[in-house]
Amino acid sequence: MEALKQRTIRGGLAKLVGQGITFALRLLYIVVMARLLSPSEFGLVAMVTVVTGIYDLFRDGGLSAAAIQQATITEEQKSTLFWVNMLIGAILTLLCLLTAPILIRFYQEPRLFGVTAAISVGFLFGAAGAQYAAMLHRDLRYVTLAAIDVFSVIVNTAAAITMAATGWGYWSIVVPSVGVTIFNTVVMWLVVGWKPGWPRRNAGVMAMLKFGGTTSLNRLVVYVAYNLDKVLLGRFWGADALGLYSRAYQLINIPTTQLNDAIGGVAFSALSRLQNDSAQYKNYFLKGYSLVVALTAPITLFSAAFADDIIRVVMGPRWEAAATIFRLLTPTVLFFGLVNPLAWFLMSSGLQQRSLNIALVLAPICVVSYLAGLPYGPNGVAAAFSIALSLWLLPHMLWCIKGTGITLTDLLEAIWPPVSSAIVATIAAIAVGALVGHAESALLRFALNGSVMAATYSGMLLVVMGQKTFYLNLISQLRT
């Protein structure tokens, strides 16, 4: 148990460091690419990716999660899952190609054929690497996973910026992303060194296929719920409006996406191995939950308070119209920070059917919010989406923990210290900014407000809220 704890903590650190680096690189990507490409070029690619992203959910058929969740897995099972993944990848590649004419007709944009065809190549290679990634997760080789992630983002960022600077336009978004998928898979082949055998009919994978099917269906429902807004905006408001909305959406969601990638994989692997120890399971989950909220809450409130300066500094003056969208979407980030860990909880507990049922209720709520906001453009959609998720938060949390060893009081006790600290820190940053006066430089205001908020938040969380011991223990365990 202690060995698992140490490997989990070290794995979490490795993933956090890796995600910190990739966060900086992705931010660099946004900063530079926003100055090299127009909103319409981003919107053009988004018209395709919002649809092909549905296929991407089935790239591994949920079988990576199924393999990780198993207590034990045989060589025959791994080989069979690999070939099932390859079959899925081939089908998705074909489906993606068949989708191109439909997209051209829907958006009235002939350039979408080439973009869709290029993206289709990534599905086969992504499927080929799915079980290799699962093996690295099962073995808790998070340093290796973090290194692969970092190198992939470096390659993607360098290639995209180079292509954009030399006049490739929207192709500088498409080609590097497909190339990185191929790069990732080849590197994992070399690192893992495993060679799949032939599939076996009686390999005992039916339970994993069922788990993977439920997981994939859950992902599909959630994806549609969270991305139909982009389809509607692209269809009824055009590439410019979609470009502004999609860039604001991506920027505001980078922190939660990075955190979920960093901590989620580690937490899922560790919690899956603690299914039979309810006390340890609850302890691990609540600590991880508190950590995620502690990292999400201040970023969310800072983004809401200083959206205009963030957009000016990160994306430049021609993207100023995205600032309002960015601010209106900030409640969704806190929502994701609070509910994403509950998804790890459900999946690692084998409650994937409940997760699917929740998604089936959430999806129509999101769709109704998009339709309500659509007549008012990107701002209306962003506002309606945030309101809907805010109203749904408490029912979502209660449904997730119903009948489990986790109570609402447990969750609130984990949430209260970071959220209250973030609120106080935001008020302090706004007050100091008002006292100092309005600086001409957006970068200077950004740095000042960020410094005040970081210092105040740290003091509130560690000292006033008494979380110092928790984080000192975490640091000491990283050193041992």
Compute the half-sphere exposure of residue 329: CA atoms within 13 Å on the CB side of its CA: 26
Q: Is 43 within 8 Å of 246 (Cβ atoms)?
A: yes
Query: What per-residue confidence (pLDDT) applies to 428?
Result: 92
Task: Supply 337's token pair.
Answer: 């920070």
Task: Record the pTM.
Answer: 0.70
Q: Is 93 within 8 Å of 212 (Cβ atoms)?
A: no
Nearest residue to 239 via CA among 32, 34, 100, 45: 45
Neighbours of 318 (CB within 10 A): 11
Q: Is 64 within 8 Å of 133 (Cβ atoms)?
A: yes
Q: What is the DSSP string of 84-148?
A: HHHHHHHHHHHHHHHHHHHHHHHHT-TTHHHHHHHHHHHHHHHHHHHHHHHHHHHTT-HHHHHHH
How far out from the chain centre does Cα 389 lie? Answer: 17
Query: What per-residue confidence (pLDDT) applies to 480?
Result: 47
Q: Is 173 within 8 Å of 42 (Cβ atoms)?
A: yes
Encode the chain (480 residues) as per-residue pLDDT tens digits: 455 555 555 666 666 677 778 778 887 887 888 888 887 888 888 888 877 877 877 776 666 666 666 667 777 888 888 888 888 888 989 998 898 898 888 888 888 898 899 988 888 888 888 888 888 877 777 778 888 888 888 888 899 999 999 988 889 988 888 888 888 888 988 888 888 888 777 766 777 777 777 777 877 888 888 888 988 898 888 878 888 898 888 888 877 777 766 666 666 666 666 666 667 777 778 887 888 888 889 988 998 999 888 888 888 777 888 899 999 999 998 898 898 888 878 877 777 788 889 989 999 999 999 999 999 999 999 999 999 999 999 999 999 888 888 889 999 998 899 999 999 999 999 898 777 766 677 788 888 888 999 999 989 888 888 777 776 766 555 444
Query: What per-residue confidence (pLDDT) applies to 479?
Result: 47
Residue with tokens 């910190």: 20
Query: What per-residue confidence (pLDDT) applies to 277?
Result: 64
How many angstroms separate the CA atoms of 207 and 201, rounded? 13
How far out from the chain centre does Cα 379 lie? Answer: 22
Query: What per-residue confidence (pLDDT) applies to 35?
Result: 84
